[in-house]
Amino acid sequence: MKLRSVLFLALMLPFCEAPAGAQEEALAPAASWIPEDAIFALEVLRPAPLLELLCGERTCARVTSLPAYRRNEGTKEFQDFLGLIKLLEAKLGTDWRGALARLTSGGWTFALCPGGAALLIIDGSDADMLQSLHEVLLGIARAEAEKQGEAERVSSSDYAGVTCWTFDGQGAHALIGSRLVLASSQAALRAALDLQAGDGAATLATVPPFQAARLAALQDAAACLYLDLARLRRAPRVQRALEESRQKPLAALLLAGISEALRDSSWLAGALRLEQDTLVLDVTLCETERDPEDPAAFALPATPGDGALPNLGLPRRVAALSLYRDLARFYAAKDDLFPERTSELIFFENMMGIFFTGRELTGEVLAQARPTMRLVVAEQEYDPAIGTPLVQLPAFAAVFELSEPEEFAEVMEEAWQKALGLINFTRGQQALPGLIIDRVDHGDTRMTVAYFSSAGAEERARLHQRYNFRPALARRGEHLILSSAEGLARDLLDALGRDAREAPLPGADTLLELDGGQLASLLEANHATLVEQNMVEKGHTMDEAEAEVSTVIALARLVERLELCAGSVQGAARFRAAARLDLAAPAR
Q: Which helix H or strand E contains 529, and what residues bound it?
A: helix 527-538
pLDDT of residue 571: 66
Q: Compute how many other C-beta atoms are within 10 angstroms of the C-beta atom of residue 140.
A: 18
CA–CA separation, 265 and 256 (whole Å): 14
Helix (H, G, I), strand (E, B) or coil at 104: coil
Give the angle 32-37-39 at the CA atoms, nearest 5°.
105
Residue 5 pLDDT: 38
pLDDT tens, per residue, the chain with 588 residues: 333 333 333 333 333 333 333 344 578 899 999 999 999 999 999 999 999 888 888 888 888 888 778 888 888 888 888 898 999 999 899 999 999 999 999 999 999 998 889 999 999 999 999 999 999 999 999 998 998 888 888 999 999 899 999 998 889 999 999 999 999 999 999 999 999 887 667 899 999 888 888 887 878 899 999 999 989 988 888 888 877 777 788 888 888 878 888 888 888 899 999 988 899 999 988 766 666 777 778 888 888 889 999 999 999 999 999 999 999 999 998 888 887 777 778 888 888 988 998 899 999 999 999 999 999 999 999 998 899 999 999 999 999 999 999 999 999 999 999 999 999 999 999 999 999 999 999 999 999 999 999 887 778 888 999 999 999 999 999 999 999 999 999 999 999 987 667 889 998 999 999 999 999 999 999 999 999 999 999 999 998 899 899 989 988 998 999 999 998 876 678 899 999 988 864 544
- Enter the pTM of the model: 0.86
pLDDT for 9 equals: 36
Can you state the angle between helices 127-147 and 96-103, rounded to 10 degrees? 110
pLDDT at 182: 95
Provide the angle, in degrees to the nearest 10, between the axes of the packed helices 127-147 and 76-92. 140
197: phi then psi, degrees, rounded to nearest 5: -80, -5
Q: How far is CA 394 from CA 313, 384, 489, 525, in A?
A: 16, 17, 13, 11
Beta strands, E only, 379-471 = 395-402, 436-442, 445-451
**Which residues make beta-bridge pairs with 282?**
271, 576
Q: Could you give the angle at the alpha carbon of 248 between the alpha carbons of 346 and 243, nearest 5°? A: 140
Query: Cβ(7)–Cβ(167) under 8 Å?
Result: no
* Interatomic CA distance for residues 339 and 6, integer angstroms: 50
Contact assessment for residue 246 and residue 270, using Cβ atoms and an 8 Å cutoff? no
Q: Measured between alpha carbons, how far is 140 from 269 in angstroms, rounded to an integer?
A: 40
β-bridge mates for residue 577, sequence order: 281, 564
Spell out the residues 6+ positions from residue 344 whose beta carbon is closer than 8 angstroms to its own.
248, 249, 250
Q: What stretch of H or E contains 274?
A: strand 268-275
Task: Give burial (CB, 10 Å; 0-12/13-18/19+) of 156.
Answer: middle
Q: Which of 23, 51, 56 is nearest to 107 (CA)?
A: 51
